[in-house]
Amino acid sequence: MEENKIMICGKCNVELEPAKTYFSYLDHSFDTDVLRCPKCGLPFVPEELANERMAQVEMSLEDK
């Protein structure tokens, strides 16, 4: 079983917490849970996640 990785903010040295974060891309917006620092608010967005969501937006645009 894979353990949940604990991410630490390099700036504040506190544990990142999942928080709902809004993104907008190509005039579309979506929200997703990402890890973010409770102190400085810096979100940690894995590149794969961002790419995946953007691909979904692009696909939904093509469907029209």
Q: Which range touches Zn ion (CB under 5 A), out of 6-14, 21-29, 43-51, 53-61?
A: 6-14
Which of 34, 35, 36, 37 touches Zn ion by CB under 5 A?
Answer: 37
Query: Residue 19 interacts with Zn ion (CB under 5 A)?
Result: no
SS (H, E, C) the chain: CCCCCCCECCCCCCECEEEEEEEEECCEEEEEEEEECCCCCCEECCHHHHHHHHHHHHHHHHHC
Query: Residue 12 interacts with Zn ion (CB under 5 A)?
Result: yes
Q: Which range touches Zn ion (CB under 5 A), out of 9-17, 23-31, 50-58?
A: 9-17
| Residue type for position 44 | F
* Contact set with Zn ion (CB under 5 A): 9, 11-12, 37, 39-40
